[in-house]
Amino acid sequence: MKLLALDTSTEACSAALFIDGEISQRFEITPKAHTKLLLPMIDSLLAEAELNLSQLHALAFGCGPGSFTGLRIATGVVQGLAFGADLPVVPVSTLAALAQQFLPPLAFVATDARIGEIFWGVYQRNTNGFMELVGKEAVLPVSHIEFPTQSALGIGSGWRVYKDELLARTDNFVSEIESDVLPQSSLIAKLGVYGFQCGLAVAAEHAQPVYLRDKVAQTETERTQAKMDKSAALMDNAP
């Protein structure tokens, strides 16, 4: 099995190549430089392995949740590579990738989603040694999270930003926390291979980012309307 994985969902940029159980990775924390580094990382991995894209079985990418811009970069690159080489794509949750780093029996994964919210997912380890989602991933305030009343490992930046609130909300079922972690393409690769074997690969056009928020950006029409409304309000309040 040969699979190329990539992730740009956070300030980290990474790419990894899985070849028959062996994984090579390029990883760099580089805010706002993903577009410059990702393709060279991919070229370097393929050159080192003396492979080209057509020799791979599939691609995988961190589909989110995460940075809006970062997810768009990863999606655009993986779709372009998949179309060009006629390869299937396995979308992999970035929350699952965080849980996969530690493989606890149960994980409460929380990453900072800004504006007072977290990206939240509960993952449990299956008999094959992979983390599987319990329920649904969500973006919500800490006060709205749902979780099993079982001991779990707390994972992700949300546990750094909202530690006290999360511990209080989870009734102290969390005794250990790993908050200084970022998704890595090596874990995206492992989960991608597993997803491929489970039949979760999709065609390039169906490889889409998962934002979780229903609306991540205003449309141009909405921005124009907002400016018009603001101007009208100023005129109404003018002396």
Of 156, 180, 204, the one marking the end of a domain is: 180
Per-residue pLDDT of the chain (239 residues; tens, 9 = 90+): 999 999 999 999 999 999 999 999 999 999 889 999 999 999 999 999 999 999 999 999 999 999 999 999 999 999 999 999 999 999 999 999 999 999 999 999 999 999 999 999 999 999 999 999 999 999 999 999 999 999 999 999 999 999 999 999 999 899 899 999 999 999 999 999 999 999 999 999 999 999 998 754 444 444 445 444 544 444 444 45
Domain harbouring 111, CATH code:
3.30.420.40
Whether residue 83 is found in the same domain as residue 187 = yes
Whether residue 16 is found in the same domain as residue 122 = no
Whether residue 131 is found in the same domain as residue 81 = no
Whether residue 85 is found in the same domain as residue 128 = no
Structurally, the chain folds into a number of domains equal to: 2
Q: Which domain holds residue 193?
A: 1-93+182-239
Closest alpha carbon to 65 in 15, 29, 118, 16: 118
Of 158, 180, 202, the one marking the end of a domain is: 180
| CB within 8 Å of 225: residues ≥ 6 apart | none
Q: Around Cβ 169, how many Cβ atoms within 10 Å? A: 18
Q: Which helix (H) or strand (E) holds 93?
A: strand 89-93
Largest CA distance in the chain: 74
Nearest-angstrom CA–CA distance, 137 and 72: 19
Of 129, 154, 180, the one marking the end of a domain is: 180
Name the one residue in this structure whose structure tokens are 């970022």. 182
Whether residue 109 is found in the same domain as residue 74 = no
Whether residue 85 is found in the same domain as residue 68 = yes
Contact 150, 22 (CB under 8 A): no
Whether residue 176 is found in the same domain as residue 223 = no
Whether residue 44 is found in the same domain as residue 84 = yes
Whether residue 39 is found in the same domain as residue 143 = no
